[in-house]
């Protein structure tokens, strides 16, 4: 086992060899985007850090890229997205001839060469419109992916332009990932009504039975051990990879592996999540950690909180992916070992 390559990864965003695909959600996006007249040309993937958003988006993009009619473009949210889109489309050798055939003169914008007898386009949105119109005539579609969006001026400018492209019935599609609060901030911009209506796909925990079967098959551990490992992850995607990675490296599940696993979660995920929680969020997290039952009434009693004080913070922790609200009357952590972390970091 040691000589073979570790099929798990501890690197964020990198697609591991051993992956549990979210087949149903991927199929929903792929089926919708490939319809003749799709109802949605935008999907937003939300979830906490380490929930597999980037890998999910990458898998959808790869599947569409395999089809002749699709062009996939990944944009960096920290740069000027409109300029990046023109640059990336114009860098595709098989597309340049289409744009020349359509006599799209991008020389003023710094892309391509002068086209004799054709005035240069001086507006970036006009340039993209002309390029997309050319692609539409050739039955091509463009998928744009943007990872970890935030409500920046560059992102708002891009989203506003994208809204115009949709109204012009151009073949452009958008797949974005982000933390719930960042996506919500962008969607609440008054001018971006289309984005507010865009369907969100919240990545829920992976199925524990599927995780156990993966561990049993890949790591050659007994069924009982694979089930114990699956429970340790609580279905959290990053935890699934980290525990698999460490167990592969050590050759077995041990107390040392579990200790290192918890340290990985603390250092690479939980420290960042904790820093982004408000004092009220943290107080509630400590109360949940101290509760032996997870009942809302018990947590409220520990914290001496009224319902109207408790509920806003509970909703915030659910949206951040720290807790789940699936069981009525209870509040439990969605993240593995987070109760230990909360107690250790009680202020």
CATH number where 143 lies: 3.40.50.300
Inside any domain, residue 270: yes
* Share of residues in the chain with pLDDT > 70 (%): 97
CB 56 within 8 A of CB 45: yes
Three-class SS of residue 316? helix
Q: Are both 188 and 58 inside the same structural domain?
A: yes
Does residue 4 surpass a pLDDT of 70?
yes
pLDDT digits (tens, 9 = 90+) for 267-287: 999 999 999 999 999 999 999
- In the structure encoding, which two tokens stand for residue 306, read together? 């009224």
CB 131 within 8 A of CB 104: yes
- Count of residues making up the chain: 347
Residue 194 pLDDT: 74
Domain count, the chain: 3
Enclosing domain of residue 335: 277-344
Residue 253 pLDDT: 96
Q: What is the CATH number of the domain that holds 338?
A: 1.10.10
How distant, in Å, are the alpha carbons of 31, 73, 139 from that of 69?
A: 15, 13, 7
Inside any domain, residue 119: yes
Residue 325 pLDDT: 82
Contacts of 278 (CB under 8 A, 6+ apart): 313, 316
How distant, in Å, are the alpha carbons of 281, 282, 291, 309, 340 from that of 296?
A: 15, 16, 9, 12, 19
Cross-strand bridge partners of residue 146? 75, 176
Q: Are both 41 and 139 inside the same structural domain?
A: yes
- DSSP for 50-113 reads TSSHHHHHHHHHHHHHTSTTEEEEEE-TTS-HHHHHHHHHHT-HHHHHHHHHTT---GGGTSS-
Q: Are both 96 and 177 inside the same structural domain?
A: yes
* Nearest of 179, 145, 186 to residue 49 by alpha carbon: 179
Q: Are both 125 and 219 inside the same structural domain?
A: no
Q: How confident is the model at residue 1 (pLDDT cuts 50, 70, 90)?
A: very low
Tally the C-alpha atoms within 13 A of residue 181's C-alpha that lie toward its C-beta: 14
The neighbour count for residue 213, using CB atoms within 10 Å, is 16
Of 202, 230, 261, the one marking the end of a domain is 202
Q: How confident is the model at residue 116 (pLDDT cuts 50, 70, 90)?
A: low
Contacts of 171 (CB under 8 A, 6+ apart): 132, 135, 136, 140, 141, 142
Inside any domain, residue 234: yes
Average pLDDT over residues 60-64: 96
Distance CA 240, CA 269 (A): 13
Contacts of 81 (CB under 8 A, 6+ apart): 75, 146, 154, 155, 157, 158
Inside any domain, residue 63: yes
Q: Are both 156 and 283 inside the same structural domain?
A: no
Average pLDDT over residues 50-57: 94
Q: Are both 36 and 178 inside the same structural domain?
A: yes
* Nearest of 179, 152, 175 to residue 79 by alpha carbon: 152
Q: Are both 234 and 191 inside the same structural domain?
A: no
Inside any domain, residue 3: no
Does residue 236 surpass a pLDDT of 70?
yes
Q: Are both 167 and 264 inside the same structural domain?
A: no
Of 202, 231, 266, the one marking the end of a domain is 202
Residue 32 pLDDT: 97
CB 125 within 8 A of CB 170: no
Q: Are both 305 and 184 inside the same structural domain?
A: no
Inside any domain, residue 82: yes
Q: How confident is the model at residue 309 (pLDDT cuts 50, 70, 90)?
A: very high
Q: Are both 195 and 231 inside the same structural domain?
A: no
Q: Tell me the pLDDT of the chain averaged across its residues.
A: 92
Does residue 310 surpass a pLDDT of 70?
yes
Residue 97 pLDDT: 86
Inside any domain, residue 1: no
Q: Are both 118 and 175 inside the same structural domain?
A: yes
Q: Are both 99 and 175 inside the same structural domain?
A: yes
Inside any domain, residue 18: no
- DSSP for 187-253 reads HT-TT-HHHHHSPEEE-PPPPHHHHHHHHHHHH---HHHHHHHHHHHTT-HHHHHHHHHHHHHHSS-
CB 269 within 8 A of CB 334: no
Of 255, 274, 293, the one marking the end of a domain is 274
Does residue 113 surpass a pLDDT of 70?
no
């Amino acid at each position: 086992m040691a000589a073979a390559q570790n099929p798990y990864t501890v690197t964020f965003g990198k697609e591991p060899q051993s992956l549990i695909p979210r087949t149903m959600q991927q199929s929903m996006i792929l089926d919708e985007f490939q319809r003749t007249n799709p109802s949605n040309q935008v999907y937003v993937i939300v979830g906490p850090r380490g929930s597999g958003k980037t890998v999910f988006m990458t898998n959808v993009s790869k599947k569409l890229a395999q089809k002749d009619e699709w062009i996939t473009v990944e944009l960096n949210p920290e740069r000027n997205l409109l300029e990046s889109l023109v640059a990336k489309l114009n860098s595709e050798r098989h597309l340049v001839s289409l744009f020349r055939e359509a006599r799209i003169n991008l020389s003023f914008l710094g892309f391509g060469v002068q086209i004799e007898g054709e005035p240069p386009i001086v507006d970036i949105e006009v340039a993209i419109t002309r390029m997309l119109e050319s692609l539409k005539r050739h039955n091509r579609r463009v998928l744009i992916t943007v990872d970890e969006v935030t409500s920046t001026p560059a992102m708002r400018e891009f989203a506003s332009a994208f809204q115009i492209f949709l109204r012009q019935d151009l073949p452009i599609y958008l797949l974005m990932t982000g933390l719930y609060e960042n996506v919500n901030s962008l969607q609440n911009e008054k001018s971006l009504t289309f984005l507010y209506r865009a369907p969100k796909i919240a990545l829920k925990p992976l199925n524990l039975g599927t995780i156990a079967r993966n561990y049993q098959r890949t790591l050659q551990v007994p069924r009982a051990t694979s089930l114990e490992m699956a429970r340790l992850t609580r279905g959290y995607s990053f935890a699934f990879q980290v525990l698999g990675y460490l167990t592969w490296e050590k050759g077995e599940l041990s107390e040392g592996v579990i200790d290192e696993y918890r340290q990985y979660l603390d250092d690479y995920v939980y420290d960042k999540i904790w820093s982004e929680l408000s004092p009220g969020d943290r107080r509630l997290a400590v109360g949940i950690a101290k509760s032996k039952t997870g009942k809302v009434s018990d947590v409220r009693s520990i914290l001496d909180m009224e319902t109207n004080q408790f509920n806003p913070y509970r909703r915030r922790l659910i949206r951040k992916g720290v807790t789940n609200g699936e069981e009525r009357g209870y509040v439990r952590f969605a993240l593995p070992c987070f109760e230990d972390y909360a107690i250790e970091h009680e202020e």
